[in-house]
Amino acid sequence: MRSAAICSMLFARTSALAVPRWTRSARRLQGSPAFAATLAKGAAESKTLSVPDLSVPPVAHAAYEMITDEMVDEYGVRATLYKHTKSGAEVLSVQAADENKVFGITFRTPPKDSTGVPHILEHSVLCGSKKYKSKEPFVELLKGSLQTFLNAFTYPDRTCYPVASCNLKDFYNLVNVYLDAVLHPRAIEDERVLLQEGWHYEIDKPDEPLTYKGVVFNEMKGVYSSPDSLLARAAQQATFPDNTYGVDSGGDPLAIPTLDFEGFKDFHGEFYHPANSRVFFYGDDPVADRLALLDSYLADFNAIDPNSKVGIQRKLDLSSKPRVVEKFPAPPEAPGGAEGGAKKGQNMVQVNWLLNEEAMGAKEQLTLAVLDYLLMGTSSSDLRKALTDSQLGNEVIGGGLSDELSQATFSAGLKGVKPEDVPKVEALIEAALDKFALKGPDASAVEAAINSIEFSLREFNTGSFPRGLSFMLGAMSQWIYDRDPLSGLRFEAPLAELKAELARGEPVFADMVKALLLENKHKVSVEMVPDASLESEQTAAELAELAAIKASMSPEELERAIQTTADLKAAQARHDTEEELATIPSLSKADLARQGLELPFSESTELGAKVLRHDVPSNGILYADVGLDLTLLDAEDLPLVGLLSRCLTQTGTSKEDETALSRRIGARTGGVYGSTFSGVVVPEDNSVAEGDEIVHRLFVRGKVVKAQPGELFDIVSDVLTSAKLDNQKRIVEMLKESVSGLESNLVASGHAYASTRLSAPHSLAGALGEATGGISSLLALRATLEMAEKDFPRLQARLERMRAALLRRGSLLLNLSGDAATLEAAEPEVAKFLEAFPEGAAEVPPASERLAAWKKALAPPEALNEGFVIPTQVNYVGKGGRLYAPGEKVPGSASVVARALRTGYLWDTVRVMGGAYGGFCRFSPLTGTFSYLSYRDPNLLGTLENYDGAGGFLGAHELSDAALEQAIIGAIGDLDGPLGPDQKGFEAMRRYLAKETAAQRQEWRDGILATTKEDFKAFGERLAAKLEAPGSGANAVVFGSKQALEDANAKLAEGDKMKPFELKEVL
């Protein structure tokens, strides 16, 4: 059971909430006993540059009392805990040699009901404040900031507002806006904010039906359409029947309309006080400046004793409690013969435990993280493997340990289970845990698990996710409950203690399984049952409720509802004045770097293979990417590439089975996995490409410490040359997992599939994306699964043929990233690896011939208006086409305008006025394709009408000088995001493969900086001509309910503006 935060403000640069806190067991980050010293040495060497010095007295400020001042040696940072004496706020100030500065303010916000008030308030406070007068300062920051993170999210018991930027001026601008937003929001004085972000009755005329509208209302309708989300909600509420976790902080669509303005305001007054907050700073900015800025806001408040502590859920004896059974919406008229039309064998069952009442100590938390890895961390982990091997379901669910709330839980189960097999799954979980407790884990499994977590902790590679934000979220999982914020971040002492216990032969993990799981009676089982009529019943119930409400209204009440709707729409349509916009702090073009940064790169040909090297700071870790040229394959085999990629590391090799291989990877490297990469080659003249000259590669990616590169290359060689492609059992399991995952994603992320489908008709690159990652790939996977079950020799032969074609040294690409000493240390092993790599076919057809054959075989689908039927209460609406033809030059200004559309016109029309959770656009200057997309959208045809108004808006809207500068700054910010060491190497390789030059990148940057107001109007004219005009060739793709699509077709039949949707059922 995962208590995932609701990430409410879409379109921030980073949306992931993967927190590499040390109590989270990393799934692929593994290492050997020798690696710790190497990593520690590399980390120590890197920290000597500018590590904070404890001998220097901590910064003092008259407004604060210093509580503690400590070094966190594991991360080379100095952490000082202050208390603001007047307001009572606690402040953790972390000094780090990191330019990517982070700020966050978090409030404890335990809800008492499922109206979603914490979630709605999280949206609402960012809609204007005392100092910052625009309607949505958050959006103004999105438009013109160099932010590296700008978001907000609601947990079941807290609400977090983080920002990050590498630019000091920009960083303090963000901090100022967020502090004023949470402490002095317009929302508590202007009810229209609640109506917009939360919910309201909408009606324009007396004879029209009453409807519900609101961003959060529609967002949560989307959440409640997802079977996985419904299961997570049911499991949490069943596990925590007596405290705040028993209600939904995100909001239940049935309860949201009971929230009134008084309750909304009262919640802010109760919980949004500095004394109830935890304030966090991280980075290389001056501590004195942080404290002074913060004091200017906190000084207005007097300390209180907030009544916000999260109550403890006492452990109960639930052994006699019947299984919780709830329904989820299933596709109507689905095949399978089950009652109601839902597929037989699509039930979900999950067993959940509450693990503790009192807070765990650091060693206990770390031990639990390792146990989680042993049970659920990889496909070979004991409990996960038992569930997968049982063939009682299609995909393992539950996620194992969840420890980010005040009490930890553990969950495991299966989806795709026949109703009669649900008790078998429950019994299987119990039996697998019994076996684990009796025999204990295998020593090699323990070694891999320990090393996995240790490697992750010491590497602390968060990619583009700011390190300081990971640090903050890790600290907050303790701090928010009045515990030591640093206790969850220090790992050296608890790790040494755990290793000592294991060295003494103590049955640490077996004992923990007995105490926390087998002997724990606070255990509840949740079963989810598909119901083909649930969606229509929910829709009918909502319509009936609204009809009854309207019927009960007096004429005066009805007129008041109509007037409220009109007033809200007028307020939403009103543009901010120049005076209001001027209150938002901003950068200027003078703050921008005119030259883009280039990445370290060197190229050589060695034994016929291409080798790229990138000298980047890596703390003694080598990152290696071994790339195979997928254009050597026949087009018919392309849908199998994803399966082959998984086979390499999950089916075993000629030397060892899949379990032994997984543990070898865990014991010898920092992780090995397969992934694919696709890209379009950039024409020499930097014009729009046909999209038919592409790069398509399968990579085996891995990491290892400087002392052991040979271990990594040996494993990569083994998986490439001798992966067991005859392992039918494991291959069938993987295919079932993949099909199940894609089907779930259709309901949760229909916009992504719409985007892929829209690109397919216009180029080979688009058709390839659809064949390997779109709806077509789901259909192909289902066919592959049937082949694996009924005619496996044929599938095996295809996989063997693919491997033989790919293993060709002359087509090999080896991409290496690391510091100079690490790259040098790897040289002998690189040479051995290349010498041993198969030479493969001596001659192959030219790439142009191979790609021409692909284009013929992957005939792009016709650009049709398509409606894909899924069980959902909201829609995902897409429309797109080719905006620039091959050979045309796209100016850099086009990216500025497209970005401004996303954060301006589409945000206003699709999200704010339309009520969708998201509305945005995607533009590819390289292929000239452009698409509009919406996310969790209550509308369909109305959204398409908004898309068709974009060109006219750009032509009519008079852009101010400030707005133009703001748009340019935001576009430059998109180019300059920070990268981790492995990301730098991979991005440099991408540029090489795409034949993209530094001169072309600078030309694009110069074009962005030179954008004019006339460019906006020119782009609008192009949109009107290429995508909006009848016969333009643009098409629409929608994922939605059958009823919504049929209603849209009925209206389209009354006119001739666009052709009706071809309805297609894929679930």
Q: Which of 374-383, 576-585, 1050-1059 has the lowest mean pLDDT?
A: 1050-1059
d(CA 935, CA 876): 5
pLDDT in tens, 891-910: 999 999 999 999 999 999 99
Amino acid, res. 111: P
Q: Around 56, how many Cα atoms within 13 Å sit in the side-chain half-sphere?
A: 10
pLDDT in tens, 401-415: 999 999 999 999 999
Residue 193 · residue 125 · CB < 8 Å: no
pLDDT attached to residue 26: 30
pLDDT attached to residue 1030: 84
Strand partners, 69: 80
When pLDDT is averaged across residues 171-176 and rounded to a whole number, the result is 98
pLDDT attached to residue 1031: 81
For the beta sheet containing 324-329, the strands, ordered from the edge strand earlier in sequence to the opposite edge, are 324-329, 523-531, 347-354, 409-417, 395-402
Evaluate if residue 15 carries a pLDDT over 70: no
When pLDDT is averaged across residues 237-247 and rounded to a whole number, the result is 97
Evaluate if residue 29 carries a pLDDT over 70: no
pLDDT band at residue 12 under the 50/70/90 scheme: very low
State in Å, rounded, how far the first CA of the chain is from the last one.
25
When pLDDT is averaged across residues 979-990 and rounded to a whole number, the result is 96
d(CA 469, CA 825): 33
Instruction: Reduce the DSSP state of residue 127 to 3 states and report it.
Output: coil
Q: Which of 185-189, 327-331, 716-720 has the lowest mean pLDDT?
A: 327-331
Strand partners, 953: none
Evaluate if residue 341 carries a pLDDT over 50: no
Evaluate if residue 552 carries a pLDDT over 50: yes
Q: Which of 608-622, 655-669, 851-865 has the lowest mean pLDDT?
A: 851-865
Evaluate if residue 38 carries a pLDDT over 70: no
pLDDT attached to residue 1007: 97
Question: Global pTM?
Answer: 0.93
d(CA 182, CA 272): 7
Evaluate if residue 335 carries a pLDDT over 70: no
Length of the chain in residues, anyone?
1067
Evaluate if residue 920 carries a pLDDT over 60: yes
Residue 343 · residue 335 · CB < 8 Å: yes
When pLDDT is averaged across residues 952-967 and rounded to a whole number, the result is 95
pLDDT attached to residue 630: 97
pLDDT in tens, 801-837: 999 999 999 999 999 999 999 999 999 999 999 999 9
The backbone region for 936, taken as left when phi is positive above 0, alpha when psi lies in -120 to 50, beta otherwise, is left
Q: Which residues contact 118 (CB under 8 A, 6 or more apart)?
A: 109, 111, 154, 159, 249, 267
pLDDT in tens, 906-919: 999 999 999 999 99
d(CA 312, CA 294): 32
pLDDT attached to residue 344: 61
pLDDT attached to residue 1057: 81
d(CA 760, CA 771): 9
Sign for the CA dihedral angle at 686, 691, 693, 695 comes to positive
Residue 361 · residue 257 · CB < 8 Å: no
pLDDT band at residue 203 under the 50/70/90 scheme: very high
110 to each of 157, 219, 270, 633, 1041, how far by Cα in Å?
4, 20, 11, 55, 34
d(CA 731, CA 649): 12
Q: Supply 141's token pair.
A: 């920051």
pLDDT band at residue 157 under the 50/70/90 scheme: very high
Residue 268 · residue 383 · CB < 8 Å: no
Evaluate if residue 516 carries a pLDDT over 70: yes
d(CA 41, CA 655): 34
122 catalytically annotated: yes
Evaluate if residue 881 carries a pLDDT over 60: yes
Q: Around 740, how many Cα atoms within 13 Å sit in the side-chain half-sphere?
A: 22
pLDDT band at residue 863 under the 50/70/90 scheme: confident
Which of 74, 136, 140, 197 is catalytic? The answer is 197
What are the backbone dihedrals phi and psi of residue 327, each rounded to the nearest 5 degrees, phi first? Answer: -100, 155
Instruction: Reduce the DSSP state of residue 47 to 3 states and report it.
Output: helix
Residue 128 · residue 136 · CB < 8 Å: yes
Residue 19 · residue 468 · CB < 8 Å: no
pLDDT in tens, 698-747: 999 999 999 999 999 999 999 999 999 999 999 999 999 999 999 999 99
Instruction: Reduce the DSSP state of residue 880 to 3 states and report it.
Output: strand
Q: Supply 860's token pair.
A: 């792009």
When pLDDT is averaged across residues 763-769 and rounded to a whole number, the result is 95
CB neighbour class for 134 (10 Å; exposed up to 12, middle 13-18, buried from 19)? buried
Q: Around 483, how many Cα atoms within 13 Å sit in the side-chain half-sphere?
A: 19
Instruction: Reduce the DSSP state of residue 5 to 3 states and report it.
Output: coil
d(CA 783, CA 791): 11
- Give the percent of the chain with pLDDT over 90: 90
Evaluate if residue 422 carries a pLDDT over 70: yes
pLDDT band at residue 333 under the 50/70/90 scheme: low
Integer-rounded Cα Rg, in Å, for the chain is 28
pLDDT attached to residue 842: 82
DSSP-derived secondary structure for 284-305? SS-HHHHHHHHHHHHTT-----
Evaluate if residue 427 carries a pLDDT over 60: yes
User: Which ranges of 976-1012 would DSSP assign to H, the alpha helix?
Assistant: 981-993, 998-1009
888 catalytically annotated: no
pLDDT attached to residue 27: 28
d(CA 553, CA 576): 35
Strands 6-7 and 147-150 come out as: unpaired
d(CA 256, CA 212): 10
Average per-residue pLDDT for the chain: 92
pLDDT attached to residue 43: 40
Name the residue among 769, 972, 1033 with its Cα closest to residue 146.
Answer: 972
pLDDT attached to residue 53: 73
Q: What is the DSSP letter of 190?
A: -
List the helix and strand counts (H, then E) for the chain: 38, 28
pLDDT attached to residue 338: 38
Which of 74, 122, 140, 191 is catalytic? The answer is 122
d(CA 682, CA 999): 12
Evaluate if residue 10 carries a pLDDT over 70: no
When pLDDT is averaged across residues 484-505 and rounded to a whole number, the result is 95
Q: Which of 246-250, 672-676, 1037-1041, 1063-1067 has the lowest mean pLDDT?
A: 1063-1067
When pLDDT is averaged across residues 184-205 and rounded to a whole number, the result is 97
Task: Name which residue leads in pLDDT, 339 or 556.
Answer: 556
Angle of CA points 1021, 1025, 1028, to nearest 5°: 105
d(CA 948, CA 943): 9
In the numeric block, the tokens 């502590």 are attached to 309
For the beta sheet containing 672-680, the strands, ordered from the edge strand earlier in sequence to the opposite edge, are 602-606, 609-615, 813-818, 621-629, 694-705, 672-680
Q: Which residues contact 188 (CB under 8 A, 6 or more apart)?
A: 264, 265, 268, 269
d(CA 890, CA 897): 12
Strand partners, 282: 94, 102
